[in-house]
Copies of this chain bind each other. A is one copy, B any other.
Amino acid sequence: MKTLTSRQKQILEFIDGFGRDHGYAPSIRDIVKGCAISSTSVVDYNLRILEREGLLRRDAEVSRGIVRLGQGRRGNRTIPVLGQIAAGFPIPVPAADTWATAIEGETVEVSHELTRGIEDVYALRVKGTSMIDALINDGDLVLMRSTNHADNGDMVAAWLKAEQEVTLKKIYFEGDQVRLQPMNATMSPIYSDAANVEVQGKVLGVIRQM
């Protein structure tokens, strides 16, 4: 990338500032005024360069059609809070329609850093202190990736069919057995038949508010 001229940096900064102040992009003439430039063609000229450099996108013949690209502008993901998780209480694996209806309810906003671009993410509010061994407290929000697959050592929400309960544990596959390991050394792991265990989701992160 070629280094930007001071004018181009100035225009870029003006666009960002204008967006923060107004909530929409400036017009060419807004930039003319804001950067003390005397002609719209100069702005157009420099915007073409900035677009070529990949710093913004322009939609032809659209008023205020400048969209800033690059840096941390990607915004938030809105994640549905599908329900609560507590020992002995099943979590519904979200189906397409569950998803839609959940949108109406509680949601959290998280940055892309946390979800890392993963699509099927939902959140569960932890009820009770039964997960305290896993450093997860009452009221915490766990970000879950909806999946039926897990790797050794992943922290998962596991559905124990016979026991009819869900626990949040680390999972280890040992032959046709599955070991569900609490994160507290003083607690014993649960061993179960692999057929009896169904992975409902993988924990991506934890958010706690105080």
Contact = CB atoms under 8 A, between A and B. Distances in A.
A203 B210 contact: yes
A180 interface: no
A136 interface: yes
Given A109-B113, A207-B205, A207-B206, A24 B76 contact: no
Nearest to A67: B23
A136 B134 CA distance: 10
A198 B146 CA distance: 44
A132 interface: yes
A56 to B, nearest CB: 10
A190 to B, nearest CB: 20
Interface in A66-120: 66-67, 72, 75-76, 78, 107-114
Question: How many copies of the shown chain assemble into the complex?
Answer: 2
A57 interface: yes
Contact of A59 (B22, B132, B204): B22
A188 interface: no
A24 to B, nearest CB: 6
Contacts of A78: 72
17 contacts: A22-B65, A24-B24, A24-B25, A24-B62, A27-B63, A63-B63, A72-B107, A76-B76, A109-B112, A109-B113, A114-B207, A114-B209, A135-B135, A204-B209, A206-B206, A206-B208, A207-B208
